Amino acid sequence: MTDLFSINIVVLLASLISASTPILLAATGELVAERAGVLNLGVEGMMITGAACGFIVSVHTGSPAIGFIAAAAGGTAMSALFALLTQCALANHVASGLALTLFGLGLSALLGQGYVGVKPPPTGNLELPILSDLPVLGPALFSQDIVSYLALALVIAVWLALARSRSGLILRAVGENHNAAHALGYRVVRVRVLAILFGGGCAGLGGAYISLIRVPQWTDGMTAGAGWIALAIVVFSSWKAGRVLLGAWLFGGITVLQLNLQAAGIAIPVEYLSMSPYLITILVLVILSADNSNAPASLGRIFHAPR
C-alpha cells in the first residue's frame, strides 16, 4: 500500500528543515574553524553541552531565546578550553578535540541530571508577513521557528565574510599558510582563537536546537552523533559554505523524507531507504568536489611563532 497522498507536505517540509538545522549550525561553525587551520573534533561535545545549557537555562527563565544565548555561551566556553589547549599549550588538535567530545558528553550528563522528563518552554514560529499567507508554501517555508532562519542567514553571512571580506581573506590566509600570514603581520593565534570560539558558539546553538525545538526534551547523549555528521559534511563539502548548506539539507532532508516514505509504505526496501541519507549526501558532495578543491594547507598543524 503506497499512500503518498497521506503525507502532509507542510508538516514534512517543517520537519525537513528542523532535521537539517542542527547539523547546518554545527557544520558552519566548524567550517570557519577549519578554514582558519584548526581541526576541532570536539563538535559533538560542544553540541551536547550547548543542548544541556540551553535546555536548563530556558527551563529556568521560561525563555527559549535566553536558552539559545546560554547554549551559544556553553558551546563557546567548551571551545575556549580547546583554544587554550591547542593555541596556548600547543597540544595536538586531534587528541584535544576527542578529549573535548568525551568531556562534553560527561559534563552535559552531569548538568542535565534532574532535567529528564522536564518540558521546555515552546519556541514560537516566526510568521513572515505576507509570505506566510501563501498557500502551502507560506506555512511550509515562511512560518518556521526563528532559529532555522537564523541558521540560514548565518551560512550566507559566513559565505560572504569568507569570500568577500578582508577579514575573511586574513582568516583563509592563516588557514592556508600560517607562517606567511605571520610574516605579513597577522596575529595567527588571535585569528584562530576567534574562529574556534565562533565554531563553539555555533555548535552550542545546534545542540540547543535539538533539545529545545526538534525533540524537545533533555536526554543524556541526545545529539547521538550529529556532531560527527557535521564534521563529515565540512570535509565532503570541500570547505565551501554553499556546499555545507547543500550537504546539511540533503542529509537532514533525506533522513526525514525516508522516514515518511517508510510510513507511507513505499515499495523500496527499508535497507536502501535508511542508508540513502549517507549515500546520497556523500555521492552528491563527492561529485561536486571533483573540481580539485583542497583542504586548507595548514589544517590541524600547530603554529610556533618563529623568532
Partner 1 sequence: MKLLKFLSGVATALSLALPSLADEKLKVGFIYVGPIGDGGWTYEHDIGRLAVEDHFGDRVETIYKESVDEGADSERSITQMALEGADLIFTTSFGYMDATLNVAKKFPNVKFEHATGYKTAPNMSIYSARFYEGRAVQGHIAGKMTKSNIVGYIASYPIPEVIRGINSAYIHARKANPDVEFKIIWVYTWFDPAKEADAATALVNQGADVVLQHTDSTAPQSAAEKAGGVITFGQASDMAQFAPLPRVSSIIDNWAPYYIARTQAVLDGTWVSTDTWDGIGPGMVGIGDISEAVPEDVKAEALALKNAIASGEYHPFTGPLSKQDGSQWLAEGEVADDGTLLGMNFYVEGVEGEVPN
What would the grid cell of residue 159 be? Answer: 559565505
In DSSP terms, 125 is beta-bridged to: 145
Neighbour count for residue 71 (Cβ, 10 Å): 33
Which residues, numbered 14-73, are part of the site for partner 1 (CB under 8 A)? 15, 19, 22
In the chain, the N- to C-terminal Cα span, in Å, equals 72
The amino acid at residue 61 is T
Nearer to partner 1, 55 or 239 (CB): 55
Nearer to partner 1, 102 or 134 (CB): 102
Binding track over 214-233 against partner 1, x by CB under 8 A: xxxx-xxxxxxxx-------
Question: How near is the Cβ of 24 to partner 1 at its closest, in Å?
Answer: 13
Question: How near is the Cβ of 242 to partner 1 at its closest, in Å?
Answer: 25
Question: How near is the Cβ of 76 to partner 1 at its closest, in Å?
Answer: 22
Q: Contact between 8 and partner 1 (CB under 8 A)?
A: yes
Nearer to partner 1, 87 or 255 (CB): 255
Nearer to partner 1, 110 or 305 (CB): 110
Q: At what angle do helices 226-236 and 9-35 cross, to 10 degrees?
A: 70
Q: Are 23 and 252 in contact (CB under 8 A)?
A: yes
Question: How near is the Cβ of 112 to partner 1 at its closest, in Å?
Answer: 7
Give the total residue count for the chain. 307
Binding track over 243-282 against partner 1, x by CB under 8 A: ------------xx--xx-xxxx---xxx--x--------
Nearer to partner 1, 118 or 134 (CB): 118
Q: Which of 6, 165, 167, 294 binds partner 1 (CB under 8 A)?
A: 6
Which residues, numbered 118-147, are part of the site for partner 1 (CB under 8 A)? 118-119, 122
Question: How near is the Cβ of 288 to partner 1 at its closest, in Å?
Answer: 26
Of 104-112, 138-146, 181-189, 237-245, the window that binds partner 1 (rule: CB under 8 A) is 104-112
Question: How near is the Cβ of 149 to partner 1 at its closest, in Å?
Answer: 20
Q: Contact between 204 and partner 1 (CB under 8 A)?
A: no
| Interface contacts to partner 1, rule CB under 8 A | 1, 3, 6-8, 11-12, 15, 19, 22, 105, 109, 112-113, 116-119, 122, 210, 214-217, 219-226, 255-256, 259-260, 262-265, 269-271, 274
